Structure 1
Amino acid sequence: MESGKEVVRRRRYSREMKEAVLAQCEQPGASVARVAMEHGINANVVHSWRKRTRGGPMAHHGGVQEQFVPLALPATMAHSIGHVVEVEVQHGATLLKVRWPLEGAADLARWTREVLR
């Protein structure tokens, strides 16, 4: 019997294809949306692959929340008294607050990109 409804099937991608797409996303200046579009894949699919391979930003593993890890700063940044950049990122119940010397803003940008991958 036909119900008149079209059966929607999920596309399957090989491990090699996923690895190639994810490698392209890791290139400096790469846009996940652009890489996905070039391969005819929805960007949300690629984002989910990235989260699964990395455990997701601020992920919980095995039901245990990740613990605080101190970050050693170079001496030139550690004693700065001038202006600071304050960043707050909330992900679910987790709140990450960072105070960073203004003169190290470029380093903060790189650090933030890595944390949010």
Structure 2
Amino acid sequence: MNVTHPRRTRRTHSEEFKRSLIDACGEPGASVAGVALANGINANQLRRWMRERGIEPPELSCLPLRVAASEPRGGFVSVQLPPSLDAPIRLELRKGTATVTVEWPASSAAACGAWLREWLG
């Protein structure tokens, strides 16, 4: 019996391809991970290509976005919502061959929850 194992081959990418991805990382709003994912390579591979060419990958920042002091800041804005349609809560309870359907007004959802907890006991 002969068992053949598939040979693992490395993918090779042209210098032009690597350079185009590195250039795409420099675009405003682009991320190394996003560019890599969109092109089917690992983000760490792309970062390595950048370091090999003397380009430092951008730092990840967890700092909040700063707003210039001259920009007006928004405050609380009250919004009037239209009255909702009081669609009922529908419960279908099955036990064996018996089925019970319960409709409860959505406006008293808390009471429905209390009833259901008591009923399931």
Identify the TM-score tier after normalising by the shorter chain: 0.3 to 0.5
TM-score (norm 1): 0.42
Determine which structure has more spread, i.e. the larger CA radius of gyration.
2
Higher RCO by CA contacts (8 Å cutoff, separation 6 or greater): 1
The structure with the greater share of residues assigned to helix is 1
